[in-house]
Structure 1
Amino acid sequence: MDRYRALMAFDVARARAAYPALDEGFVHFDGAAGTLVAEPVARAVAGVLCGAVANRTTAFAPGRRALQILADARSAVADLVGGEPGGVVFGPSATALTYTVARGLARTWRPGDNVVVSRLDHDANVRPWVQLAEQNGVQVRWAEFERTTGALPIQQYREIVDDRTRLVAVTAASNAIGTRPDVAAVAGIAHAAGAVVYVDGVHATPHLPTDVAALGADFYVTSAYKWSGPHLAACVAAPARWEALAMDKLRPSPDDPPERFELGTPSWELLAGVTAAVDFLAGLAPDAIGSRRERLLASLAATHEYSAGLFRRLLAGLQAIPGVTVLPAPPDGCPTVSFRVGDQHPADTAAALGEKGICVFSGDYYAYEYFQAMGLRDTGGGVRASIYHYTTAEEIDRLLEAVAGIA
């Protein structure tokens, strides 16, 4: 990130101007559940819906447009995360794609094998592996997070990963508390044992420059609606990794990846929105130069620096309010915090903030194992506030004032 330090100036007003929904006046701390859509994305989606785009074929121009839309979207996601276009598989959600990969990998699992999952993860990177393990007589091993710090210790992986470990699933960032585990270290341990590494990048991708190779991710999943795009997800792996994965499919559908794993006709308009979202992100640091990949790295470094400063302000403010309990997390995570106000049910806190036009979520946000381990799920989980690059310092103060009033 130091390489892009000179490009760190970030103009939040310029960024906010690209989000028409902000004109409604709500304060959005709900980005962890889904960000607002940037105007160029909506325009790209509408352009396909209003234009002559047919199902894919080389026989006529509207069909060739569909092929180009798909190719452009694969290249865009590859630039966003540092992958290869031929290894980008699209699907309706990260959950659906993870189930697809899990079913393919599980065909080679045998009794006596084991898989490793973490209690810090979103359930989409837990339950598919647990369910397929149970169906195949495979042991499930759990990586535990530290209750007092929210960290995911690496040493435990050296103890629970062995030569019968077939898969290690880990998040790049907790969607509940923002913790960023040392994924590269986990992957190094897993690869030394011959295991496949599946990384949930849904919460990390919107906030950080991503390099799947540096992370050591064999599979990396991300959702476009978490980074200003439409409701579409992508799983990225080396083409050879997809080639080796078994998949049930219709007989006439393509045999080669990535198309082999994309069941049915793609949504051309959403694919166009994905490309537009990546292009939009690449332009958030207007002084950045070079390829789209280079501009993405610079822009996401700039937004990360900006959001981190706001997040420090939010954390300090919450911790200073009597009666507010902030769930612990390491200081270098993504800008997301979960908290509780006294003995008030989190849903009531969220509703009270909603009455003031402040959008936050409550519950377990599908971080099921985390809130179970913390002993909080049965009493409502937590209240989650997540910062995105359109958040302002004034909005931070507005949230803090509202929480203080509730407390």
Structure 2
Amino acid sequence: MNGQWLGTKYSTSEHTRDGNLIVNLDRIGDSYEGVAYNWPLQPPFICGTIPFRVPVNQNPFATESILLAYTTQTDVPFPFVDASVYASQITGSPQSVARRVYIEGDWNSDRMRLSYSTDLGDTGHAIVRRMAPDQQSRVVGKRTTWKELKSEFLGTSYRQFIFRGQSNANWPLRSLYHREGRANLYRYTAEDVPMMHKRLGGQLKQPMNINLNDDRGGFVHLLQHHGYPTPLLDWSFSPFVAAFFAFRSHRRSPNGNEQCARIFRFNLTAWVKSLEPILMLATPRSNFSFLEFPTQNNPRVIPQQALSAVTSMDDIENYVQSQEQMRGESFLDAFDIPVSEADAVMADLRLMGVTAGSLFPGIDGACEEMRAWRFPSQ
């Protein structure tokens, strides 16, 4: 049951409205806990917020909770207040809003059915679905050769596009945080980030104040580069850095291997003109925003020409494609190159100075670079 569930909530009461429903749940011990967000399809767009807790062994389940409202504040750790108070403030007159919500439902691996009622007699239902753990990429890549792709990349306008390399063309764009089955980003911000800062603070050459937005983002970016799950997705302004990450694990692949690696290309300039970024780790909104973080304590950022996307979405590709359809623009495409070309790719990148030693300053990167040279595939 843990993960992100999306769908539409349909109201069966005359004075309540349909809405887009997002249910973000983590497994915590013997229960699934998180928050359900209800975004009305018509104004006023006040996001109803329901804290959610269900025992792991209860299916079908029933739960009861308070009803909160999202205040849209960006400078507080938990921007949710009593729904009736907030609705009265927004409209300028007293509002009668439900205070308690009673939810029943059942779920399987990819579908959850919900029905609800409130202390005011409102009722409704929803079916929400989550992204499958083994879902393949929705993006149809262009099959090409390294020679053709290298020529195309050399004509790229710098910083208009960004790139991401993945070693398997079937893998979707998905943060490690969401791949691990987590979804409640408010919990991540309140618990994981402070916990890791306490753990690593003594090892940081330059102090980082995680109560400040820039430092917190830079610290999470540091965690990302050292393997801790984060809601970030790494990109590079260099297509050749992306190619290194796409082929890094394939240097000993057999020549007859028809599997493909993939390089995603994203039109950053068009995206930031079309959508206002949300510069927060935790938000109930659908978010896919690009950030360049401070570089202190993270010597990998500059050589990798790195920036990251912060996302609240598990299924990133579906969100991007929905924005493409809505706005009539193309933001994302992909190129698939056979892994049998790995040796040729890595040889070209070495001549360009794109190596493990240059991208990962330190002993580990130097050893990986020299190993690739001194112990070539046979």
The higher-RCO structure (CA 8 Å, 6+ apart) is: 1
**TM range, smaller chain:** under 0.3
State the TM-score, normalized to the length of structure 2.
0.24
**Larger helix percent:** 1
The structure with more radius of gyration: 2
State the TM-score, normalized to the length of structure 1.
0.23
**Larger strand percent:** 2
